[in-house]
Structure 1
């Protein structure tokens, strides 16, 4: 049975069609990249998949159960990190246990020892164990996004969704974050769906690719099918030169004031 099934999902906002009859299935353990330009429907698709938005038509099901709202087994990583700057990396990661401990208990770190161990383990997974007590606001953008990944892992999800997680990062940091996302998914056996616009990152890290254009699915296939013709189908006449970033860019790992 497929872990995720998107069946005929259409989402409209007034007269604007954000998604138009999108369907696909994702089996357990796949690492899927959703590609498309801004406005193609990527974010709307992920919001429908994690229950933050309801489809106008169609359904999303996880393990055979229709998604009608946020689920503890579906973690979401956002473009803007959404972490608390004055808290440490450890404290931010620990808030991933919110669904088990409650809001105030989580903020006051009243979690049990197992939750705290999981937070440290998640920071280790994303290469930040030595920075556990570093204040988040003093970390680089790439490090902050990795804290966001750690927080998602503490949620103990089966599915990990990430909405343009590297859009605001330099090329080196983007590659690091994508590498840690894939490592986390592989080590924990997660099903992952990541939205991107950078073609080279998609080709480097993706197993399967879903292309959206003007809210419609225009491609769904694997690495051996992901050709320049497919890229043209997804991006059309848009200049894709900036979407092929340098592979050897320097990572931004210095702390910021």
Structure 2
């Protein structure tokens, strides 16, 4: 059964075409990586699926319902973390319950016991339970991103989106974040779409791959199909060492 269905999706910003007649389906529980250079349409695609951006033409259907606005059951992990540095990791994670809890009650920690337990469980899922009371602003970039993942999990999503979640991290931290992200998706049986630019990292953790170039889908397939010819079509003319970085040293691109 399809969890996400994208039908003839087009998004224009003035004269710029960010997405051009994009169509595909994502099955329930599938872990999909969206590949492409900066400006290829990856972020716009995820924001349309999350209801944060309105398409010019076409539509996105989640669980057989057209997406017309932001949905609480579709959570987003952002590249720049979007967490509050002055709050603890626990409070940031707990803010994922805002969609079902009054803001003032949440700010004063008057959340339901179930929400509080869920925040602690989410932090444990991303390896940060011992750091629950640490101020997020004092944490490393990788830890902050894991707090962002915990917050998304507390939102109780059916679908998890992540927009370049490791782009600003060193290779070791990127590996750690991806391990926890993939592990959480599997444990919670979440349909997941994540945009990445590091091909080897994508191959290490992804199942399905959608490649965008100039707003169009130029590849839709699985790991064995992600050949150098496909990568050249996606990243041709770009320094390939940059895009092959961040993965396990034993993970190589199919030739």
Q: Normalising to structure 1: TM-score of the pair?
A: 0.95
Give the structure 2 partner of residue 232 of structure 1: 232
**5 Å matches for 1:3-152?**
3-152=3-152
* Secondary structure in structure 2 of the residue aligned to 1:40: coil
Distance 1:246 1:118 in 2: 31
| Unmatched segments (≥5 aa) in structure 1 | 250-257
Please provide the CA RMSD for this pair.
1.1
* Secondary structure in structure 2 of the residue aligned to 1:11: strand
Distance 1:127 1:230 in 2: 35
Distance 2:246 2:141 in 1: 18
Cα distance change, pair 154–246 in 1 and its aligned pair in 2 (3 A): closer
| 2:190 aligned with 1:202 | no
**5 Å matches for 1:215-254?**
215-245=215-245, 247=247
Question: How far off its partner does 1:87 sit?
Answer: 0.6
Contact 1:172 1:248 in 2 (8 A): no
* Secondary structure in structure 2 of the residue aligned to 1:3: strand
Distance 1:29 1:192 in 2: 7
Distance 2:140 2:245 in 1: 20
Question: How far off its partner does 1:236 sit?
Answer: 2.0
Give the structure 2 partner of residue 255 of structure 1: none
Higher mean alpha-carbon deviation, 147-156 vs 239-248, is at: 239-248
| Unmatched segments (≥5 aa) in structure 2 | 250-255
Distance 2:221 2:152 in 1: 27
| 2:206 aligned with 1:213 | no
Distance 1:83 1:22 in 2: 31
Contact 2:4 2:62 in 1 (8 A): yes
Q: Normalising to structure 2: TM-score of the pair?
A: 0.96
* Secondary structure in structure 2 of the residue aligned to 1:147: helix
Question: How far off its partner does 1:224 sit?
Answer: 1.5
Give the structure 1 partner of residue 252 of structure 2: none
Contact 2:34 2:210 in 1 (8 A): yes
* Secondary structure in structure 1 of the residue aligned to 2:48: helix
Show structure 1 runs of 4+ deviating over 6 A.
none
Distance 1:143 1:117 in 2: 20
Give the structure 2 partner of residue 161 of structure 1: 161
Q: Deviations over 1:181-217 (max 9, x none)?
A: 1000000000000001111110110000000001110
